[in-house]
Amino acid sequence: MASFLGTVRPSPSSVSCFAPCRRQISVYTSQISLPTSGFFPFKRILQACLQSNLANGDNGVQLPAQQSEIVFMGTGTSEGIPRVSCLTNPSKKCPVCTKAVEPGNKNRRLNTSILIRYPGPSGRRNILIDAGKFFYHSALRWFPAYGIRTIDAVIITHSHADAIGGLDDLRDWTNNVQRHIPIYVAMRDFEVMKKTHYYLVDTSGIIPGAAVSELQFNIIDEEPFTVQDLKITPLPVWHGAGYRSLGFRFGNICYISDVSEIPEETYPFLQDCEILIMDALRPDRSSSTHFGLPRVDKFLAYSGNQFTLSNMSLTIFPFRL
């Protein structure tokens, strides 16, 4: 269950430009079985289609009122792709980064994050998983294209910078669009936020009139919880030795963005998962903190799921797989 912490002060009544490139999983066909209790908007989720539209000036699409979708805000590593170090290296040319700087190239990838869009009882909902260092750039790229204005909640997988570094940028929404944004986070990661984003956790020291994000912190454990009528099941994993991270399951979709090992107790929650979005840092091997493609491939042979890759480094050419 999630416990509400809130904020100390009550809520009152950049520079980069990226060429348009839209990638999404859209939900089209095949009925799936749903729980007998609780609201589940993902009623048609079997077929996942990775779509790309490289036309400049693309304004996104208007979904039917009852259709759900996932927008990939980013599928890259903490540094993002391309890397400055690659582009300025006089002795070695990196093929991925070189391609990524081309207008509209699909290998330009920011911090891994997704936006879940679904129809709720009171209108369409937008649930963001992670707001990393490049969140604002991702929002500039995708929110206008899809006509997304509000953020109904942010769910945090872990407390590394590529997952929480953009929390400060949520001020644009809480200053100009909505009064506050609920944040769902594990206690261990909230303790980190008390240090890295102390002025957002305790706003009592903010100078009157200063604009900071108005966030409502909700502590979650590893039990299922509900966000805006959507049931979320945490998927505990290891992200390096001794470091716990969370994946999440919603409907028949499982999302695990940062993983080096999946504990045995998590496997039952992956059963009957039809779409798996999985960490895959490198094409040839895993690292101490991330799955590589061979590990993902072996896992999928065991599970039989459809999959999409995330957290891909510059060593992966995803559109040549």
Per domain, the residue ranges of the chain are 3-320
146, two tokens: 């899809």
Asked whether residue 6 carries a pLDDT value surpassing 80, the answer given is no
Q: What is the dihedral angle through the alpha carbons of 240, 244, 250, 251, rounded to the nearest 10 degrees? A: 70
Residues 201, 246: contact at Cβ < 8 Å? no
Average pLDDT over all residues of the chain: 76
CA distances from 24 to 52, 88, 196 (A): 8, 32, 31
Predicted pLDDT at 15: 19
Predicted pLDDT at 273: 83
Buried b (16+ CB within 10 A) or exposed e, 105-142: bbbbbbbbbbbbbbbeeeebbbbbbbbbbbbbbbbebb
Q: What is the pTM of this model?
A: 0.77
Gap between the Cα atoms of 111 and 74, Å rounded: 5
Gap between the Cα atoms of 142 and 128, Å rounded: 12
Tens-digit pLDDT profile for residues 48-69:
333 323 223 345 556 666 789 9
Tens-digit pLDDT profile for residues 83-112:
898 899 999 888 888 888 888 888 888 899
Instruction: Please state the rounded mean pLDDT for residues 278-293.
Output: 72
User: For residue 255, which amino acid is it?
Assistant: Y
Q: Output the CA torsion sign for 122, 123, 127, 131.
A: negative
Predicted pLDDT at 105: 84
CATH of domain 3-320: 3.60.15.10
In the chain, % of residues over pLDDT 70: 69
Residues 223, 190: contact at Cβ < 8 Å? no
